[in-house]
Amino acid sequence: MTTATAQAKSRNASDAIAPDTTGLNFFRADPSLVDLLQIHLPQKLVDHIRPHLDRLGALAGDHLDACARLADRHPPVLHPRDRFGRDVQWIEYHPAYRELENAAYGQFGIHAMSHRKGILGWPETYPAAAKHAFTYLFNQAEFGLGCPINVTDGAAMLLSRFGDDRLKAKYLDGLTQTDMTNLTQGAQFMTEKEGGSDVGKLTTTAVREGDHWRLTGEKWFCSNADAKLAMMLARPEGAVNGTRGVGLFLLPRTLDDGSPNSYRIVRLKDKLGTRSMASGEIKLEGAVAYAVGNLDRGFVQMAEMVNWSRLSNGVKSTALMRRAMHDALTVARGRTAFGHRIIDLPLARRQLLKLLVPLEQALSLCFVTASTLDRAEQQGSQEAALLLRILTPTLKFRSTRDARKVCGDALEMRGGIGYVEEFASARVLRDSYLGSIWEGTSNIVALDAISRAIGRHGAESALAADLHARLKESTAIPQSYRDTLKHAIDRAVRFATTVASSSDNESDARRATTLLYHTASAVTLAWEAGQIAERRGDARRLLLSKLVVDHHLTPSDPYAIGSGSREQAIADALFGEQPVAVDRDSALLAS
Ligand SMILES: Cc1cc2nc3c(=O)[nH]c(=O)nc-3n(C[C@H](O)[C@H](O)[C@H](O)COP(=O)(O)OP(=O)(O)OC[C@H]3O[C@@H](n4cnc5c(N)ncnc54)[C@H](O)[C@@H]3O)c2cc1C
């Protein structure tokens, strides 16, 4: 027996015991991604990014995944001094983390796609919908680094929008570099011990000194703690209390003469997840910083970065769900129990369906939100800006929460070794708990959607108009089902508006946001199904839409029997190899 044959035999044996995704191309294994790219991007751009996504998909399913496993097992270490005994702090990263950085920043330039022309040979900057296809694939391998990539991207956006010419000339090029030796990574320091949600309570002060400011105080959660530059909030001396008195500052890690700026990373956090990435506590001891934009609009300006990050969080949570799904399907297809493949056992198939639906809902709304952002920012559409105002917190709220459940249930599909750290499932589950905390906890984000986006800005009208327009376009969808969706839009929007109308209803904000999410995703899935059916005769997403309606928007009798066989047929259609035609879908749509 040759070595190769022996290896193949032993691989087959281990595959049967513990089927693993290693070697799976995460791009090729994800036809939904290509479908949605074709809906939301011009064909020329899709054709251009496709080979790059293919390359990233192969890396994410293999080498980058191996790096992520190592980087998670060997978290960063903070050193107080350099090797010459000087008080120069530095963070030691495992070489695997450095490889992940090389791929994200150096090879693919994900952080720079919105800012620098020419990344991956494309002559323009990329729309958000294209950039986040890369975010989505990369984060299926490594979630920890997802944060630094995103805050570097967000810092470049804030600087280019609000920075003065001098600051831009000094820092913008570095933030968007793909040459690793010249790259300036970014960070975002807002949270203080006194309050993360209640930002207006922050106590870091800024005192003017010539052309710069001196900052004193503490930041409690600083991800990418040793970034060369951080965008941060502080209160200028004499400014009013609350968020209105908060200014936005750029904090460089080193000063112009090369000496370290006057702040210390006091320690690194020992975290549940994102263990590969350094989150620290920072003490500012008269650190030099530069004002960015109008000082009395610091919080409003920072909110633009927060909203970009909330979309990115939605995408990254969706990535974790896809990763968990790849793992669950690989196990369910590759392992047998009681003489059957696990995927062929009715109860297991139903559980897989419960993983698939929230994942595809999230993917649909990620693309709708990213395209809306593109319309609002590239084309200056006011209507898109209002729609974005409600879509962003709605996506962030539900997709980050669903990721916890999907990743946990996918872990169980692996059986006992899902609980063992040698496979990705445990890491993915640990990572999945973060999305709903940072850039606003679930409560804060639901209140943003209901009390502010709807209560203050009236964004429900833009959402209702958008969803009705999508339904109108979906002429391939059976009329009775379109009527069901139409009714669902009206009910969800009415409910959310009622909740928003009085602070007495605040405790219903999460429920209202969830209903908006399910309604928006059910409509979007159906709208996509019409287009995909036209393009390649497959209307599977219509079935997903129907499952959302059945499970989340329709009252059900807990004792009813009989939905099992229909759901089984839907699961067969969704997990089967064959495309599903609209007429067959129409039959399955019937309750
Ligand atoms: C791994 C990690 C990395 C992070 N990285 C960064 C970073 O790089 N930069 C940064 O600035 N921050 C960062 N954070 C901080 C994060 O954004 C905050 O922890 C978060 O915003 C919550 O703030 P808090 O911890 O002060 O909790 P609190 O604000 O004290 O919240 C505690 C609880 O009270 C609830 N609550 C608060 N207000 C309300 C309300 N009005 N109604 C109902 N419930 C409410 C919250 O939902 C939460 O459940 C990070 C956090 C983690 C875990």
Between CA 54 and CA 34 the distance in angstroms is 11
Task: List, in order, residues 6 or more apart from 16 with CB less than 8 Å away.
Answer: 334, 335, 336
Q: What is the pLDDT of residue 4?
A: 46
For the whole model, what pTM was predicted? 0.96
Q: What is the pLDDT of residue 276?
A: 98
Hey, which residues does 216 pair with through a beta bridge? 205, 285
DSSP alpha helices (H): ranges in 437-508? 442-447, 460-473, 479-500
Q: Which portions of the chain are predicted below pLDDT 70?
A: 1-15, 562-563, 584-591
Decide: 150 in ligand 1 pocket, CB within 6 A: no
Phi/psi at 537 (nearest 5 deg)? 65, 30
| Residue range 513-571, pLDDT digits in tens | 999 999 999 999 999 999 999 999 898 999 999 999 999 999 988 888 766 777 788 88
Picking from 258, 253, 102, 111, the residue whose alpha carbon sits closest to that of residue 175 is: 111
Q: What is the dihedral of CA 60, 118, 226, 182, to 10 degrees?
A: 120
Decide: 229 in ligand 1 pocket, CB within 6 A: no
Token match 């800005």: residue? 457
The sign of the CA dihedral 479, 481, 482, 488 is positive
Task: List, in order, residues 6 or more apart from 36 with CB less than 8 Å away.
Answer: 363, 364, 367, 528
In terms of Cβ atoms closer than 10 Å to its own Cβ (0-12, 13-18, 19+), residue 241 is exposed
Closest atom of ligand 1 to CA, residue 506 = 42
Between CA 285 and CA 582 the distance in angstroms is 65
Picking from 500, 522, 523, the residue whose alpha carbon sits closest to that of residue 511 is: 500
Between CA 357 and CA 362 the distance in angstroms is 9
Q: What is the pLDDT of residue 590?
A: 62
Q: How far is CA 9 from CA 1, 62, 232, 334, 495, in A?
A: 10, 20, 55, 15, 59
Decide: 434 in ligand 1 pocket, CB within 6 A: yes
Decide: 451 in ligand 1 pocket, CB within 6 A: no
Which residue has the CA at smallest separation from atom 41 of ligand 1?
Answer: 444
Q: What is the pLDDT of residue 563?
A: 66
Per-residue tokens: 554: 């329709």
Task: List, in order, residues 6 or more apart from 388 with CB less than 8 Å away.
Answer: 307, 369, 372, 373, 376
In terms of Cβ atoms closer than 10 Å to its own Cβ (0-12, 13-18, 19+), residue 312 is buried
Mean pLDDT of the chain: 94
Decide: 325 in ligand 1 pocket, CB within 6 A: no
